[in-house]
Structure 1
């Protein structure tokens, strides 16, 4: 469907921007059936209106205007629950597991098996684990970031330099054959620190994330041991990720 009407097209661009935090001009042009130059003009207008910030190749949400945690939690909720259950089955008893602030990871916190040590900066994960007597919980404090409902900054990164975990479970805005991406520089720094503290990295991402784009690569695909996604993920991307040496688990499929 071609979006030739400018107000309607900009409304669609803003909807996509709010859903993922970042939009690629070239991909938006292809999706909406207009030229990339037209999309660039639209993004400039959104930036002039204070609704977006232009970056190389597209636009991102302004600082402090990220998608609310609750809204992101509701997106693809059934897939996230299924992915969380599949990821939980990969965690060995006695393991130390670092968990980031993503909404799929928050779902995982609700179904964690017993006898784990959980290291996290995520307030929802802390809340899920706090009353469980069969888990050990290490909370990482720092500067509170309302959009991600998590703590971050130098204090968190310093703490992670002194911790070694068996597994890091990370979320992503986008996943491709070359790496794992997010749209928030603040969040990217913490994800990198968590991955750096781990012997193994699991990425949880619903199928839409394997079709998405985001501006900040926080991990190369070679650093990921397992990708847990669902059967809506595009087969070509799943194949490319597997070719890169990553084990791909499709939630709901027998293993």
Structure 2
């Protein structure tokens, strides 16, 4: 296995576990401990990880980081992200909406040869060094959401076609209506829905049987929910 492939796997494992050991990664990749120690040293020099005694950890500072919203229900979001990523196949073109649940797909997409069209700055950052091709939607940056929104973003999305779209929501009520916090967030989601063959809504249990500020759609044929109880 070449260094670039090992690099992708090491970064993927760090995103999943935050701390990994030399022996653990060596066994996973089928190489020697010495090789992994050299890899860890190289990645530390590239400022991609922090060397620890017998292993490596994530960098404490990320280029983009969600607030406490990402931390809430993080384990459930990781499971949902893994389930969603399993639906993506090599050769797919996918939309990835912004949000603290959709971002959890990234570690499971690193080795897939796909095209990702996204309005999420954290997705772009997390997918660096992966096999995926990344297209960042143009428009106005929302610093709080760390995403691109606005009419230009919606126009940009409409120029593409995707096999699958993965979107987040603020809430899903008992009648399966989809709710967003604002018009600009709903606008991006609607544009992705209109330009994708299949749509998957990612939501943990805290979003279910609730309402938010703006109803923009509903779960129906072609729009499926990915969650865990």
Measured after TM superposition, the shift of residue 175 of structure 1 is 1.3
Give the counterpart of 1:170 among 152, 167, 170.
167
Measured after TM superposition, the shift of residue 110 of structure 1 is 2.6
Give the counterpart of 1:145 among 139, 142, 145.
142
- The residue aligned with 2:198 is 200
- The residue aligned with 2:51 is none
- The residue aligned with 2:151 is 154
- The residue aligned with 1:118 is 116
Contact 1:203–1:224 (CA under 8 A) maintained in structure 2: no
Stretches of 4+ aligned residues off by more than 3 angstroms: none
1:90 aligns with 2:87: yes
Measured after TM superposition, the shift of residue 224 of structure 1 is 4.6
Q: CA RMSD in A?
A: 1.6
Measured after TM superposition, the shift of residue 223 of structure 1 is 5.3
Distance 1:166 1:95, change over 3 A: same
Cα deviations by residue, 1:105-124 (Å, 9 ceiling, x for unpaired)? 01112321511110001000
Superposed, 1:160-239 pairs within 5 Å as 160-176=157-173, 177-222=175-220, 224-231=222-229
Q: TM-score, normalised by structure 2?
A: 0.67
Q: TM-score, normalised by structure 1?
A: 0.61
Contact 2:70–2:101 (CA under 8 A) maintained in structure 1: yes
Measured after TM superposition, the shift of residue 131 of structure 1 is 2.1
For 2:140 and 2:112, how far apart are their aligned partners in 1?
29
* 3-state SS, counterpart of residue 78 of structure 1: helix
* 3-state SS, counterpart of residue 110 of structure 1: helix
Measured after TM superposition, the shift of residue 213 of structure 1 is 1.6
For structure 1, the residue ranges without an aligned partner over 5 or more in a row are 1-67, 232-255
Q: Say how many residue pairs are matched.
A: 163
Cα deviations by residue, 1:1-29 (Å, 9 ceiling, x for unpaired)? xxxxxxxxxxxxxxxxxxxxxxxxxxxxx
Cα deviations by residue, 1:164-210 (Å, 9 ceiling, x for unpaired)? 00100001111133321111222111111111111110011001111
